[in-house]
Structure 1
Amino acid sequence: MRAGKGHIQSHIRVALDLGVTSQEILEAIEIALPEAGIVAFQAGLDAWREVVDARGVEPTVQVHQGGSGTG
Protein backbone atom coordinates (compact mmCIF):
# COMPACT_ATOMS: atom_id res chain seq x y z
CA MET A 1 0.00 0.00 0.00
CA ARG A 2 2.95 2.33 -0.20
CA ALA A 3 2.51 2.51 -3.96
CA GLY A 4 0.72 5.38 -5.67
CA LYS A 5 -3.06 5.48 -5.69
CA GLY A 6 -3.27 4.59 -9.40
CA HIS A 7 -1.10 1.52 -8.86
CA ILE A 8 -3.22 0.36 -5.93
CA GLN A 9 -6.39 0.94 -7.95
CA SER A 10 -5.08 -1.16 -10.83
CA HIS A 11 -4.53 -4.07 -8.43
CA ILE A 12 -8.04 -3.60 -7.04
CA ARG A 13 -9.51 -3.66 -10.55
CA VAL A 14 -7.61 -6.85 -11.41
CA ALA A 15 -8.87 -8.50 -8.22
CA LEU A 16 -12.44 -7.49 -9.05
CA ASP A 17 -12.02 -8.86 -12.59
CA LEU A 18 -10.86 -12.15 -11.08
CA GLY A 19 -14.00 -12.40 -8.96
CA VAL A 20 -12.79 -11.09 -5.62
CA THR A 21 -15.59 -9.14 -3.94
CA SER A 22 -15.19 -5.52 -2.92
CA GLN A 23 -15.77 -6.62 0.70
CA GLU A 24 -12.91 -9.16 0.47
CA ILE A 25 -10.61 -6.48 -0.92
CA LEU A 26 -11.55 -4.12 1.91
CA GLU A 27 -10.83 -6.88 4.43
CA ALA A 28 -7.37 -7.38 2.90
CA ILE A 29 -6.68 -3.66 3.23
CA GLU A 30 -7.85 -3.74 6.85
CA ILE A 31 -5.57 -6.69 7.65
CA ALA A 32 -2.58 -4.70 6.39
CA LEU A 33 -3.20 -1.85 8.88
CA PRO A 34 -1.01 -3.08 11.77
CA GLU A 35 2.01 -3.67 9.56
CA ALA A 36 1.61 -0.88 7.00
CA GLY A 37 0.45 1.88 9.34
CA ILE A 38 -2.45 4.30 9.23
CA VAL A 39 -1.13 6.47 6.38
CA ALA A 40 -0.71 3.51 4.04
CA PHE A 41 -4.06 2.10 5.18
CA GLN A 42 -5.81 5.39 4.39
CA ALA A 43 -4.23 5.45 0.91
CA GLY A 44 -5.47 1.92 0.27
CA LEU A 45 -8.93 2.74 1.62
CA ASP A 46 -9.21 5.88 -0.52
CA ALA A 47 -8.15 3.94 -3.62
CA TRP A 48 -10.69 1.21 -2.84
CA ARG A 49 -13.50 3.74 -2.28
CA GLU A 50 -12.88 5.36 -5.66
CA VAL A 51 -12.72 2.07 -7.58
CA VAL A 52 -15.86 0.55 -6.04
CA ASP A 53 -17.65 3.91 -5.75
CA ALA A 54 -18.22 3.46 -2.02
CA ARG A 55 -19.83 6.42 -0.29
CA GLY A 56 -19.02 5.20 3.20
CA VAL A 57 -18.14 2.10 5.12
CA GLU A 58 -20.80 0.70 7.41
CA PRO A 59 -20.03 -1.81 10.18
CA THR A 60 -21.13 -5.35 9.39
CA VAL A 61 -21.25 -6.58 12.99
CA GLN A 62 -23.60 -5.57 15.74
CA VAL A 63 -21.92 -3.51 18.43
CA HIS A 64 -22.54 -4.11 22.12
CA GLN A 65 -24.97 -1.46 23.33
CA GLY A 66 -23.76 -1.27 26.90
CA GLY A 67 -25.42 -2.26 30.10
CA SER A 68 -24.24 -3.57 33.44
CA GLY A 69 -24.32 -7.22 32.50
CA THR A 70 -26.61 -8.03 35.40
CA GLY A 71 -30.00 -9.28 34.47
Structure 2
Amino acid sequence: MTRRLCPAIAEQSYGPVIAAITELLDAGKKDGSIRPDADPGDFLQLTGALWRAAAGPEDRAPHMLALILDGLRTHR
Protein backbone atom coordinates (compact mmCIF):
# COMPACT_ATOMS: atom_id res chain seq x y z
CA MET A 1 0.00 0.00 0.00
CA THR A 2 1.29 3.43 -0.94
CA ARG A 3 1.08 6.20 1.65
CA ARG A 4 0.01 9.57 0.41
CA LEU A 5 -0.15 12.80 2.33
CA CYS A 6 -3.52 14.34 2.80
CA PRO A 7 -3.72 17.18 0.24
CA ALA A 8 -4.60 19.66 2.99
CA ILE A 9 -1.50 18.72 4.99
CA ALA A 10 0.67 18.97 1.89
CA GLU A 11 -0.76 22.40 1.09
CA GLN A 12 -0.28 23.64 4.67
CA SER A 13 3.32 22.46 4.87
CA TYR A 14 4.44 23.56 1.38
CA GLY A 15 4.72 27.27 2.19
CA PRO A 16 6.80 26.90 5.36
CA VAL A 17 9.06 24.30 3.73
CA ILE A 18 9.67 26.50 0.68
CA ALA A 19 10.32 29.47 2.98
CA ALA A 20 12.95 27.50 4.92
CA ILE A 21 14.63 26.24 1.74
CA THR A 22 14.60 29.78 0.32
CA GLU A 23 16.31 31.12 3.45
CA LEU A 24 19.04 28.47 3.26
CA LEU A 25 19.62 28.92 -0.47
CA ASP A 26 19.68 32.72 -0.13
CA ALA A 27 22.35 32.49 2.57
CA GLY A 28 24.45 30.33 0.27
CA LYS A 29 23.88 32.66 -2.68
CA LYS A 30 24.96 35.61 -0.53
CA ASP A 31 28.23 33.96 0.49
CA GLY A 32 28.85 32.66 -3.04
CA SER A 33 28.67 28.96 -2.22
CA ILE A 34 25.31 28.40 -3.95
CA ARG A 35 24.70 29.19 -7.60
CA PRO A 36 22.47 32.21 -8.16
CA ASP A 37 19.86 30.34 -10.20
CA ALA A 38 19.16 27.69 -7.51
CA ASP A 39 15.41 27.53 -7.08
CA PRO A 40 13.72 26.33 -3.88
CA GLY A 41 10.89 24.63 -5.77
CA ASP A 42 13.35 22.73 -7.94
CA PHE A 43 15.33 21.70 -4.87
CA LEU A 44 12.20 20.44 -3.12
CA GLN A 45 11.10 18.41 -6.14
CA LEU A 46 14.54 16.87 -6.62
CA THR A 47 14.98 15.95 -2.97
CA GLY A 48 11.43 14.62 -2.87
CA ALA A 49 12.65 11.72 -4.97
CA LEU A 50 15.11 10.69 -2.25
CA TRP A 51 12.47 9.25 0.08
CA ARG A 52 11.30 6.99 -2.75
CA ALA A 53 14.80 5.68 -3.48
CA ALA A 54 15.06 2.01 -2.62
CA ALA A 55 16.85 1.19 0.62
CA GLY A 56 19.10 -1.82 0.71
CA PRO A 57 22.14 -2.98 -1.24
CA GLU A 58 21.24 -0.76 -4.19
CA ASP A 59 20.47 2.33 -2.10
CA ARG A 60 20.78 5.22 -4.57
CA ALA A 61 19.76 8.00 -2.16
CA PRO A 62 23.30 8.99 -1.01
CA HIS A 63 24.53 9.25 -4.61
CA MET A 64 21.40 11.13 -5.70
CA LEU A 65 21.79 13.60 -2.82
CA ALA A 66 25.45 14.15 -3.71
CA LEU A 67 24.45 14.98 -7.29
CA ILE A 68 21.77 17.41 -6.12
CA LEU A 69 24.11 19.18 -3.70
CA ASP A 70 26.91 19.32 -6.26
CA GLY A 71 24.47 20.91 -8.70
CA LEU A 72 23.79 23.72 -6.22
CA ARG A 73 27.44 24.70 -5.86
CA THR A 74 28.91 27.52 -7.82
CA HIS A 75 31.58 26.40 -10.24
CA ARG A 76 34.60 28.62 -9.86
* Common fold: TM-score over 0.5: no
Using structure 1 for the length normalisation, give the TM-score. 0.37
Using structure 2 for the length normalisation, give the TM-score. 0.35
Q: Which has the higher contact order (CA 8 A, sep 6+)?
A: 1
Larger Rg: 1
